[in-house]
């Protein structure tokens, strides 16, 4: 992966997923995980 001209990004890579967000919104990742769990979509987590 390469990125040009971007600042303050958080990049998390696992075997089957890639998450890219800003540092300012990184704390919201927990909200997404909670939502997916509540909707029985945990295979996406």
3 located within any domain: no
27 located within any domain: yes
Phi then psi for 17, rounded to 5 degrees? -155, 155
Number of folded domains that form the chain: 1
- Per the structure, the complete domain to which residue 39 belongs is given by 9-44
Q: What pTM, to 2 d.p., does this model score?
A: 0.60
Q: Which two tokens stand for residue 6?
A: 């971007």
29 located within any domain: yes
2 located within any domain: no
21 located within any domain: yes
Which string of b and e fits 2-20 if b means at least 16 CB within 10 Å? eeeeeeeeeeeeeeeeeee
**E strand map for 1-45:** 9-13, 18-22
Q: Which two tokens stand for residue 36?
A: 């997916």
38 located within any domain: yes
Q: Which two tokens stand for residue 35?
A: 């939502």
Dump pLDDT digits (tens) for 1-45.
Answer: 788 899 999 998 888 778 899 999 998 988 888 888 888 876 665
């Amino acid at each position: 992966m390469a990125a040009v001209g971007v600042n303050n990004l958080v990049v998390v890579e696992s075997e089957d997923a890639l998450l890219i967000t800003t540092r300012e919104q990184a704390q919201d990742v927990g909200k997404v995980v909670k939502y997916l769990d509540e909707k029985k979509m945990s295979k996406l987590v």
